[in-house]
């Protein structure tokens, strides 16, 4: 039996999604624990300064559309980040994995991603703008080194190998 390998032109852009796919199958309790630790670290200064108070009583939904995964984030009176799997969101930000990686690594401006419809926002856009402004003030250096390196390398990879289907034909 002859097995043909996938065309590298189609495989290379899919690598970040393939690497992240196990996240979809991870039990929510584990996702929540990992995200909670990471977000508490990333936003520790903002939480201490009260910069996340606007999220108290509100929910932000982040959906990675190509992985079919989403989370709801909020903040309580004790300045702790809350994470839920299901519920009603006040604002929703959706996009594919590559867009979120480029955004996290600051390789793409959020406004550019929104105008290009690679990220979409729905619901309370004022709340979404507050979230965007909060994220703009976060420095990548507060991330654990392995996460920081992964995001930066992922963004470089995406920048090098992600092209639209029409560019390959």
Instruction: Give the pTM.
Output: 0.83
Helices (H) and strands (E) in the chain, counts: 10, 5
SS3 56: strand
CB 98 within 8 A of CB 158: yes
- The CATH topology of domain 11-164 is Nonspecific Lipid-transfer Protein; Chain A (3.30.1050)
Sign of CA dihedral 89, 20, 23, 41: negative
User: What pLDDT, on the 0 to 100 scale, is given for residue 4?
Assistant: 62
CB 15 within 8 A of CB 161: yes
Residue 72: what are its φ and ψ, rounded to 5°? -110, 135
User: What pLDDT, on the 0 to 100 scale, is given for residue 120?
Assistant: 92
Query: For tokens 């996240």, what's the residue?
Result: 23
SS3 94: strand
Residues found in the chain: 169
Over the chain (169 residues), what is each successive 10-residue block's mean pLDDT? 62 70 87 91 89 92 93 92 94 93 89 89 92 83 84 87 48
CA–CA dist 41, 47 (Å, integer) = 10
- 71: which 2 tokens? 């989370």
CB 120 within 8 A of CB 93: yes
DSSP state of 62: E
């Amino acid at each position: 039996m002859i097995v043909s390998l996938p065309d590298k032109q189609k495989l290379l852009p899919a690598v970040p999604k393939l690497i992240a796919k196990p996240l979809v199958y991870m039990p929510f309790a584990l996702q929540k624990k990992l995200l909670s630790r990471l977000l508490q670290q990333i936003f520790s200064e903002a939480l201490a300064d009260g910069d996340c108070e606007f999220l108290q009583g509100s929910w932000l939904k982040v959906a990675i559309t190509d992985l079919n995964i989403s989370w709801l984030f909020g903040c309580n009176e004790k300045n702790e980040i809350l994470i839920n799997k299901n519920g009603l969101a006040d604002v929703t930000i959706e996009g594919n994995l590559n867009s979120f990686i480029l955004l996290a690594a600051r390789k793409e401006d959020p406004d550019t991603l929104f105008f290009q419809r690679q990220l979409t926002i729905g619901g309370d856009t004022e709340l979404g703008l507050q979230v965007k402004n909060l994220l703009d003030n976060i420095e990548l250096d507060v991330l654990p080194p392995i996460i920081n390196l992964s995001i930066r390398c992922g963004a470089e990879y995406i920048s090098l190998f992600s092209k639209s289907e029409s560019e390959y034909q």
